[in-house]
Amino acid sequence: MPLLGMGSGRLAILRDSATDGHRTRLLVLFALLVSPWLGVARAMRPSRAAELRQETVGMFYHGFDNYMRIAFPEDELRPVSCSPLTRDPLNPRNIALNDVLGNYSLTLIDSLSTLAILASAPPDSRDTGPKALGDFQDGVAALVGQYGDGRPGPSGQGARGRGFDVDSKVQVFETVIRGVGGLLSAHLFAVGDLPIIGYDPRTDEDVDIQKHPISWPNGFKYDGQLLRLAFDLAQRLLPAFYTQTGLPYPRVNLRHGIPFYHNSPLHGGVALDPKPAEDSPEITETCSAGAGSLVLEFTVLSRLTGDPRFEQAAKRAFWAVWSRRSSIGLIGAGVDAEEGNWIGGFTGIGAGIDSFFEYALKTHILLSGHELPNLTVPNQVHGENWLDPNQIYRPLTDEDNSPDSFLQAWHHAHAAIKRHLYSGLHHPHYVNAHMSTGSPQAYWIDSLGAYYSGLLALAGELGEAIETHLVYTALWTRYSALPERWSVRDGNVEGGLGWWPGRPEFVESTYHLYRATRDPWYLYVGEMVMKDINRRCRTRCGWSGLQDVRTGEKSDRMESFFLGETAKYLYLLFDWDHPLNKLDASYVFTTEGHPLILPRKKGGNRVPKPSPGKAAQPYFDAHFTTTCPRPPALPPLTGSATAARPDLYNAATLIRLHQIPNIHGIPDESVVNSGGRRAKTSLLAKPTANYTHFPWTLPPSMLPTDGVCIVSKQAQTSVIEFPSISQQPAGSAFNLMFGGHNLVRMGSEGIAINSLSSLKLTLLAEEPPETFERAWRVYSIGNLPLGRDEKVFIGRDVLQDMSDPLFHRIRDSVVVDLLLQIEIPEPSREQNSTSASREPSRETQTTIEPDKPIVGGTNLFSSLFQQITSVLREPTKTTLGPEPMPKPEYRYIELPAITPVGVGAAPLPDIREAPNPHTAGYIESLSWQRIFFADQACEGKLPDTAPRGHQVIVMRRGGCSFSEKLANIPSFAPNRNALQLVVIVSDEKDEEEEPEDESGAWSFNFIRPLLHEPQRTPAGIPRHHPIAMLMTAGGQEAYEALRTTRSLGIRRRYHVESQGLKINNLVVL
């Protein structure tokens, strides 16, 4: 074990005397004893953490005391002008204010759970814990004084109103997470279901607090007022859930409901709120986060009150969002609550989407170990305003209510994000993409996305959490805050969106990562955040946001979440022994930072009753992370695994941190480690050249002396530009429809290329584990980026005459396609024929049936063929004179087939490749017309006429070996009318199921047949002309299709290579 101050770290072993040897053994023993202490010495000392904890308490109270003194009972505080901030009555469309501020003392409600957490502070000279508990109880009393106790009688009337009966049009999402969530969390602390050190209000769970209230020192008797107020507020939001889709409307009036949504089923189609002609219709667009992030609060409310309406409405909204995900598992940002259609195709991990993923995982945590909900509505007298939106829908299933279903949703959502949004270039981060294709749309990160690293830590995805959190830490270091949006491509604030309103997401992730790793690096990140906020955001009356992180311009608003989340997570980061940090229970923090839990009855944990339904069976999938991994080991001398990461500086260079002058002083290491009162960080009079490490509060000694930096991953690309070809078919339907362009989008599958003329392809090199072998992927066509799983389709005819080392066609030597030509019976032709008065079309000449199950992987090929050729065909020529005699009509089936291996394998016959039935027009006949069916061909020699009078022999798999089947074929003289091919049809049970690779439906997972010995005749004589063989799947259905075949042909498969590497996502049709 190396020692400090010893250079290379080696112990010099002295051999001159026994005394020197004894001294050496003592040194070694000393090194072993003190090495654990050395790691701690480099970490943050408890005394320093206590100082930072006190600074956080001071931060909270500077904002809270000024709010209560200046702004209460209004919603928020203006910290610059020192005045209350209320709704904007003169501009109802000022949704930045009016969506959040509902005239119900929002900041107090959002701060109650923070006060309850501070009430468990360890003893100190300021009596932080007792003071915070008293302020919590006084805050509850003040709130009840303003809005009543939630009862229908006189006590329910407060100074401002009866409950939340206010004429405020608010956003459903913000009201749930701030208002309902804040009230529920404070109630759980008040009754002791969430812990407060020294506060134990309940000794018997059967005591009804409404009959036996909890007495507080301030004279207030708590009997569940906050729970009743939460119920009152949530009931006022239920009208928003009256939609045809299950998605809630984005807004509701707390007094009048939703008279402005005229199409709601609540109105029965009658417009209850006639509007002036100049008013525009109410916006029905909500977001995935707004609709899908209500489950935690509404589930806890339903379980505490016994009223299932809220839980069922919120879960239905969650599944309504998830059920609309794209075929590649991504959800969009905006969705219409009335129509259920996505508004735009944009997706990411940040704004508009963020908390949906959070609630998928956290709902699983919250519900784990609990029974499925009781769906029976309490039998009580309901008032005239009682609503239950669940009555217009089918009840949710046990699967919809199961916690395992939410875990499954999280797993698949995360897998889609990792597949399509995660970028490992330079340093891991996330891009914004099209939800249907996964194609990159924008290269910026937003401050809301900083939550995702913390969510990954909760989910056990610790490696991904640590590496992506580095990006946000470097970004904070650069700007001393997080800009709302930052461009990875341009290296600057995106589109002028440079504000930071005090958001908590970065601090939240820092807290969760510290709890998961115990790496002191995250403590210094928290210290950096605190010092930067104190330097830039402190005002005489509170804490402001930043209007522009580049200039430091302050905004005159203290958002309620600054006290409700930002200060809370900072405090918990430094209070290592807080009871919430040690609570062994299924509790969660909501997206507003309010702790919630479903109380368990005393007497132990009960095992949930199993449901008889199949849908509610336990969920487990070994492909996903199901356990929490061990955190990285802390180095013995520096004490930080994160600071020792070799990719630390890659995150810095991605953010261009190395190009920014370092305006911060270097921490005095001795003072920081000792925890002394002198531990301060001052600004340098002359900035140093740039940042050499981050966060800027990190002591240099925490960096390893022998640290190394790995090379950042850069994109290896190749650009191929094709020359212009002037001789294009000017009259083609494709050119007429698309203005001469060579591309057409084939839904979410990819892009079809009609011509390479003037095209520019950008290829991106991919290596394992991203792909099975090193290969290219078409990354973009011109300026059009492609998703990771998007294909590029190109006809083989386009590549036929191409000879270019950067782009050339390679024949597949393993897989081919058997093309079956089957005549359509006369009655079917009559039924399918078009009227004589109509112009004949090519579709009536050649009928293609791609949807047969036996086609397997070629279903998508055939479907795409039809889509492509529907625009590629030339206009039908007008025929003058008498109509020609009708020709037979055919349908075509493609069967993928595979060649054998072994010493008995023979090459395929050199015949003309079958034409493409989708584009070739009328086909008279394919290569082979005479086919012999031999069943398994294991019972001895076949008739001599089989190989001599037939071109193809079809056999069933099984009964004997492949070599024995071929040995039963009599000798014959090769000629164009004799046997040329043997086709083996394998039953479905013989097919080998293998994991599908990234090429998906375009791959062919089938084990090649083995011909283990040279081919012989029935007499045992080696064949001079071995017989070619193919094996296809499909069983009885394929065998019968071959029986009805009029003629048979082969179509080769091809792929394209560039510079010796295959282009994986380019499909040759």
Structure token digits, residue 561: 């979440």
Q: Which of 464, 484, 505, 889 is catalytic?
A: 484
- Residues for the chain: how many in total? 1069
* C-beta neighbour count of 414 within 10 angstroms: 24
CA angle centred on 647, ends 433 and 573, rounded to 5°: 85
- CB–CB of 230/222 below 8 Å? no
Report the alpha-carbon distance of residue 45 to residue 637 in Å, rounded.
15
Return the exposure string of 360-369: e unless at least 16 CB atoms fall within 10 Å of the residue's CB, then b.
Answer: bbbbbbbbee
Structure token digits, residue 579: 């009871």
Report the alpha-carbon distance of residue 313 to residue 389 in Å, rounded.
7
Q: How far is CA 913 from CA 253, 927, 928, 1025, 1051, in A?
A: 70, 8, 11, 21, 5
Dihedrals phi, psi of 701, to nearest 5 degrees: -65, -15
Report the alpha-carbon distance of residue 776 to residue 765 in Å, rounded.
5
* C-beta neighbour count of 280 within 10 angstroms: 7
Report the alpha-carbon distance of residue 253 to residue 258 in Å, rounded.
6
Helix axes 462-479, 451-458, angle to 10 degrees: 160
Q: Has 484 been annotated as catalytic?
A: yes
What is the spatial order of strands in the sheet that 342-343 belongs to? 285-287, 334-336, 342-343
DSSP 500: B
Structure token digits, residue 887: 């020709």
What is the spatial order of strands in the sheet that 432-434 belongs to? 346-347, 432-434, 440-442
Among residues 534, 558, 478, 472, the alpha carbon closest in space to that of 509 is found at: 472
Report the alpha-carbon distance of residue 552 to residue 547 in Å, rounded.
7
Report the alpha-carbon distance of residue 669 to residue 672 in Å, rounded.
5
**DSSP labels for 918-949?**
TTS------SB--EEE-TT--SSPPPTHHHHS
Report the alpha-carbon distance of residue 959 to residue 937 in Å, rounded.
8
Segment (H or E) for 176: none
Among residues 359, 353, 360, the alpha carbon closest in space to that of 421 is found at: 353
Give the HSE-up count for residue 428: Cα atoms under 13 Å, Cβ half-sphere: 17
Just list the catalytic residues.
Answer: 484
